[in-house]
Amino acid sequence: MTPRGFRFSAVNAGVKAPDVKSLDLGLIYAESPFVLSGMFTRNIVKAAPVIIAMEQAKRGSARAIIANSGNANACTGATGLADARSVMQAVAKELDIRPDEVVPMSTGTIGVYLPTERIVHKVPELVQKLSDDPEPFARCIMTTDTTLKVSRRRVGQACILGIAKGAGMIAPDMATTLAIVLTDAVMDKDTLDKVLKGVVAHTFNAISIDGDMSTNDTILACASSQVDADPEEFAYAFDEVVTELAHMIVKDGEGATKFVTVKVMGCANDRDARLIARAVADSLLVKTALFGADPNWGRIVAAVGYAGVNIDPDRISVRIQGLDVVTSGVQDRSFREEDLKEALQQHDITIEITVGGGMGRFTVWTTDLSHKYIEINASYRT
């Protein structure tokens, strides 16, 4: 089930180093121009491909996407921009399209110049290997990922295909990771922009593994506009695809042993609920307690208190795995430490926090923090 009009390929170009033999360079090509929408990192320090792709997304049309892992092409200045454009030109020449119709994406180590010659040398092979199978492309953008992240839905005769990578350096804003959502549904630029923005707000911008925002975060939505689809059904299916990708990222969090849902309710507005949920989800003390199945609920309440939201501490209630832990700001009378410790042994953990009687609510998905996370990130570059 692949959207009409798109083809895929991937090769090894030795992007990180010549002796690394995994797939690390991928291409998506469309037979005709596709509608392009995008959202990007809000980090002030933006990678060269992000700077270029932001302008392309504003224009709203493209023909191809060239992506690499192993090198972020970030903090590389004018040279990085020139390198990205050299790759775009090589792809454009091979496909007989304009360079500005090629959208660049990169992920990997920050501060290292792109090995442009090795990449350009592989472009003809990339074009020769184009096929209807998206899996090689999905594999080529993986870095510390341990699982393939692909999601599909049908909307009548139309198809939506989502591809993502991400396992670490995961925090909002924006659309944490590299992700591409392709569809053959008929879409105009304004509609696609609206759908993407609305979905990202409660999916990719509601996940956090380590609280670190990348320089390369990008999500692209591309429509080849070949099949009519019901607008409401399309928006619902698009939401399902992106939500599934976001959950896959959290479940594949670097060193993670738990998938944690943090629900905050009773706030004056959704913004306040989001602040509290993020504070709890990003707390290293909360994360380590979850890893050790330590029933130290005080860390959760403390995070609620420093989230920057004006609430009444005497109205805080916390439920974990269905157990009443905190009621009206103090430990619930029914609370038993051994019960919570046993409940925290499970892989999927749900923390429900109520802070008042308001209508504001927000949900964030996160992970615990294990020894393995430190091992992975202590040696990422070496």
- Which of 369, 354, 371, 167 has its CA nearest to residue 262? 354
Tokens, residue 136: 């090689």
Cβ neighbourhood burial of 187 (10 Å; 0-12, 13-18, 19+):
buried
Spatial CB neighbours of 260, under 8 Å, sequence gap ≥ 6: 281, 290, 348, 349, 350, 351, 365, 366, 367, 368
The residues, ordered by sequence, that sit 6+ positions from 258 with a Cβ below 8 Å of its Cβ are: 290, 291, 346, 347, 348, 349, 367, 368
258-268 exposure pattern, b = at least 16 Cβ within 10 A, e = fewer:
bbbbbbbbbbb
In the residue annotation, 176 being an active-site residue is answered as yes
Contact 13, 24 (CB under 8 A): yes
Q: What is the total residue count of the chain?
A: 382
Residue for token pair 């990997």: 108
Pairing mode, strands 348-354 and 259-267: parallel
Residue from 176, 183, 243, 366 carrying the catalytic annotation: 176
**Look-up: residue for tokens 């706030």?**
267
Question: Which sequence positions are flagged as catalytic?
Answer: 176
